[in-house]
Amino acid sequence: MGNVQSGDKDWDFDADGAVGLDHFQILRAIGRGSFGKVCIVQKKDDKVMYALKYMNKKRTLQKASIRNVLREIDILINLDHPFLVNLWYTFQDEEDMFMVVDLLLGGDLRYHLDKQGKMSVPVVKQYICEIALALDYLQKKGIIHRDIKPENILLDEEGFVHITDLNIAAVMGPDVGQHATAISGTKPYMAPEVYDCVMDDFPGYTFPVDWWSLGVTAYELLRGKRPYEIHSTTSISEVRKMHRNQPVAWPTTWDTSLIELLSNLLALDPGERISNIARMSQEEFMADVNMDAILRRQVKPEFNPPKDHLNCDPTFELEEMIIESNPLHKKKKRLAKQMSRRDISEPEPVKTQEWKW
């Protein structure tokens, strides 16, 4: 598909193979998720470092998640924001599909929350602002993220946040009143109206679901526990009962303006919930915040991730090197062997210019 322009950014969408794995030096594995795995790479020509997300085609087919992967690529091509993870290249080979994105070495908020137990109000306050600015941008693009949670919020080396993983995002069309109806997300962070849709008690949901997730995330970062004890095994009926009957517990040490902000993010009625930057800026808790300065990254983060080590679980690299039957660092030799065997039986292989599954 060649180069694609989006706003002020040049995009390289290389389904035609103009950029491939050979253009990068693989350095080390740093993570995994529902999409596949992530490693640090360096582009050989300009020495720029990136994160490489790669997904095995066969497993993606088996999980019926191809649509999610392609949706994320289609969305990211048209996005460019300081608090999102930006896409630079995509390509594929016979085994895997690859996405080259911003390298963020500060770790995700789940990693830091597990290390620290809970975070200070000034630190979380800036996270709330940066995430809210990104959500406001996505909303203007007609995108519902649907999976805002600490695991999907990465920090760069300076400590600024970047929202990642749009593989289950919903894109709203231009029609006024359009709603999403599928139950998508991570249970503890899903808004009440998402559960209501499942029970046919609500016609659908829109952008306020992401702001509910922001409220849950902020509460968890500050307190070290979520406002509702919801787990993956909690039934939908139990979740709905909690939302209706169980008031959120507010620590007595928290300032009333903070409690008011979080209460308005966790409003059960999406119509009463904070769901844009303009509304959030009216909160007393945000009275001293200059959102324009935050958007321009002029407000330095209160927390700077450690730079003396990678902020991720070190077992990721061990798994890639030892446990994986087909580790990425051995891909070149493995595919070369496969190609030599194929050349014997298929002397004239046909090159494909499109995504092929």
Extract the annotated binding site for ATP.
53
C-alpha 279: how far from chain center: 24
Q: Any idea what the Cα angle at residue 180 is, between residues 64 and 125, rounded to 5°?
A: 100
Q: Which residues pair with 38 in a beta bridge?
A: 31, 53
- What is the three-class DSSP state of 126? helix
142: tokens are 């007609």
Beta-strand ranges (E) seen in the chain are 3-6, 9-13, 24-33, 36-43, 49-56, 87-92, 96-101, 143-144, 153-155, 161-163, 170-171
Long-range CB pairs of 282-285 (<8 Å, 24+ gap) are 283/257, 284/257, 284/260, 285/125, 285/255, 285/257, 285/258, 285/260, 285/261
Evaluate the CA torsion angle 21, 305, 77, 190 in order and state its sign.
Answer: positive
Cα–Cα distance for residue pair 222/254, rounded to 1 Å: 10
147 in catalytic set: yes
Of 14, 96, 108, 147, the catalytic one is: 147
| Active site residue ranges | 147
